[in-house]
Amino acid sequence: MERTLILVKPDGVQRGLVGEIIARFERRGLQIAALKFLSVSNALAEQHYQEHAGKPFFRSLVDYITSCPIVAMVVEGPKAIDVCRAAIGATDPLAATPGSIRGDYGATIGRNLVHGSDGPQAAAREIELFFSPSELHQYDRSLTRWIAE
């Protein structure tokens, strides 16, 4: 099983899309391992976006993610990172596939609704930023065998 971090960003929360976004991942067969509603501090935002430090848009990323509460979750399943990134769609919603979250609900890069880790190392780092080990849950679901061999 692979785990990844998903954030429903402030625009997703403000637009009332939290339930729809969570449902998209569950319908793909992914299992929620952790879930919380939180306000992101400046320090956490700067850690989360550290790879963009020094870039012209860094401050606007930090200001945006701290502007409203978000929903953070860890989802798991076979190839969870790839499955989530496909469900999310391209960073630019105008280039995102119809049927993806961004393709169906997004309009601009700056308000693209969801963050998903882009690889295993990023997922491990990001999960650790948002969740303590005691907040991560592992449990058996009877339908798992109907999703993956």
Where in the sequence numbering do the catalytic residues fall? 115
Contact 138, 3 (CB under 8 A): no
The rounded distance, in Å, linking the Cα atoms of 144 and 149 is 9
Q: Which two tokens stand for residue 119?
A: 């690889």
The rounded distance, in Å, linking the Cα atoms of 104 and 113 is 11
Q: 37 pairs with which residues across the strands?
A: 71
- Helix (H) / strand (E) containing 16: none
